[in-house]
């Protein structure tokens, strides 16, 4: 029996039941695949259900306010993906009348849809033999075939894509793709794969050579930048605070945050009042401040670690227009800020 046949039989006996497994609607597959790039299936399920309940079709998503889309995405990270979903929904409605194009070459032209998502939609929804390659697929193929080309290099990306394309079942590409991804998630897992009870173990190179942990191979990780963020949480006598939209490109675009002052190192409380950026923000407003978290909260993004402190700044009147404290939870915010708001009891 060939590789694909073994996998699809395994899949039909072992697949977990998720709502996106019971549909071929490209809108549902698209949303689920984008969510699954952010998190594991179990953790992604409540996000998928909430998204589908609020935006059941591409037309609903296209008409939505971007803030609402970001709010539903809150906690998943990589907010540019949510913005792209929204913009692409508008484009599909405008250009294709709400119908998804059915070919890989048209799908990959859409904003936010890369090789993986275009391959998934084309195969699952339109029966095209386009192989998906993601972390799960790299792991399964590199172990089974004993391939040590680093997966995070252009040579590796090309090599694995070509191999995956030769393996795909042309008569059943959607199931083949879902099978290999599910197999990577639950059977050939990153650590402690279930090799003894694996239908591929008789021909698996990594298993035969006892080198499972050596695959997949990756080049060393990029350098992580360390940044120090100070959020100023204003509290005025009339129960207002400052909460502003991040308009700049980069992390958290269009999400909301308390005024931010970035420093080169952890800000010493004794230097708080003398900091020029803080002085500019306060515009000579009299204030009292306290440090909410002595120990910096570390928020890890892919290429940077944010060492974060929240400073409570009490003022009689805000130095500029603000919003009522009771409304602060209505805005989409990075999970770091949302967690602070929960812990601080802002909504009360």
**Active-site residue numbers?**
33
CB of 199 to ligand SF4, least distance (A): 8
Please check whether residue 58 is in contact with residue 90, taking contact to mean a CB–CB distance below 8 angstroms: no
Burial of 77 (0-12, 13-18, 19+ CB in 10 A): middle
Q: Is 230 in the site for ligand SF4 (CB under 6 A)?
A: no
Question: Taking contact as CB under 6 A, which single stretch among the options 81-89, 137-145, 250-258, 336-344 is the one that binds ligand SF4?
Answer: 137-145
Please check whether residue 268 is in contact with residue 277, taking contact to mean a CB–CB distance below 8 angstroms: no
Q: Is 69 in the site for ligand SF4 (CB under 6 A)?
A: no
Dihedral class, residue 127 (left if φ above 0, else alpha if ψ from -120 to 50, else beta):
left
Number of residues that bind ligand SF4 (CB under 6 A): 15
Q: Is 3 in the site for ligand SF4 (CB under 6 A)?
A: no
Question: Taking contact as CB under 6 A, which single stretch among the options 63-71, 109-117, 193-201, 270-278 is the one that binds ligand SF4?
Answer: 193-201
Query: According to CB under 6 A, which residues from 143 to 172 bind ligand SF4?
Result: 143-144
Question: Taking contact as CB under 6 A, which single stretch among the options 29-37, 202-210, 238-246, 287-295 is the one that binds ligand SF4?
Answer: 202-210
Burial 40-53 (b: 16+ CB within 10 A, else e): ebeebbebbeebbe
* CB neighbour list of residue 59: distance below 8 Å, 6 or more residues apart: 93, 98
* Residue among 194 and 302 whose Cβ is closer to ligand SF4: 194
Work out which of 73, 100, 126, 207 binds ligand SF4, going by CB under 6 A: 207
* Residue among 6 and 312 whose Cβ is closer to ligand SF4: 6
Report long-range pairs for 275-282 (Cβ below 8 Å, ≥24 apart).
Answer: 278/230, 278/232, 281/232, 281/319, 282/313, 282/319
The residues that touch ligand SF4, with contacts defined as CB under 6 A, are: 140, 143-144, 187-188, 193-195, 198, 200-201, 204, 206-207, 212
């Amino acid at each position: 029996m060939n590789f694909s046949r073994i996998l699809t039989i395994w899949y039909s006996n072992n697949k977990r039941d998720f709502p996106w497994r019971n549909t071929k609607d490209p809108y549902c597959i698209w949303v689920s695949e984008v969510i699954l790039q952010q998190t594991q299936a179990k953790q992604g399920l409540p996000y998928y259900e909430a998204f589908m309940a609020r935006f059941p079709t591409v037309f609903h998503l296209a008409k939505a306010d971007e803030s609402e889309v970001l709010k539903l995405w809150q906690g998943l990270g990589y907010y540019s993906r949510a913005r792209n979903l929204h913009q692409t929904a508008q484009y599909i409605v405008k250009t294709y009348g709400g119908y998804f194009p059915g070919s890989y070459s048209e799908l990959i032209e859409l904003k936010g849809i890369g090789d993986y998502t275009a391959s998934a939609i084309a195969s699952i929804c339109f029966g095209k033999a386009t192989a998906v390659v993601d972390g799960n697929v790299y792991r399964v193929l590199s172990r089974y075939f004993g391939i040590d080309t680093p997966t995070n290099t252009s040579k590796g990306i090309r090599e694995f894509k070509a191999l995956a394309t030769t393996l795909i079942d042309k008569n059943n590409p959607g199931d083949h793709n879902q099978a290999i991804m599910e197999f990577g998630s639950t059977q050939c897992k990153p650590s402690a794969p279930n090799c003894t009870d694996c239908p591929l173990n008789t021909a698996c190179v990594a298993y035969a050579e006892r080198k499972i942990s050596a695959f997949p191979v990756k080049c060393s990780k990029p350098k992580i930048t360390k940044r120090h963020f100070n959020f100023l949480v204003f509290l005025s006598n009339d129960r207002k605070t400052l909460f502003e939209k991040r308009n700049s490109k980069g992390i958290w675009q269009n999400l909301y945050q308390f005024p931010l002052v970035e420093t080169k190192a952890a800000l010493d409380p004794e230097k708080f009042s003398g900091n020029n950026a803080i002085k500019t923000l306060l515009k000579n407003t009299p204030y009292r401040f306290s440090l909410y978290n002595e120990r910096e909260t570390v928020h890890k993004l892919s290429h940077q670690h944010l060492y974060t402190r929240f400073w409570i700044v009490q003022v009689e009147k805000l130095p500029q227009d603000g919003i009522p404290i009771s409304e602060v939870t209505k805005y989409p915010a990075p999970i770091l800020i949302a967690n602070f708001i929960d812990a601080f009891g802002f909504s009360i």
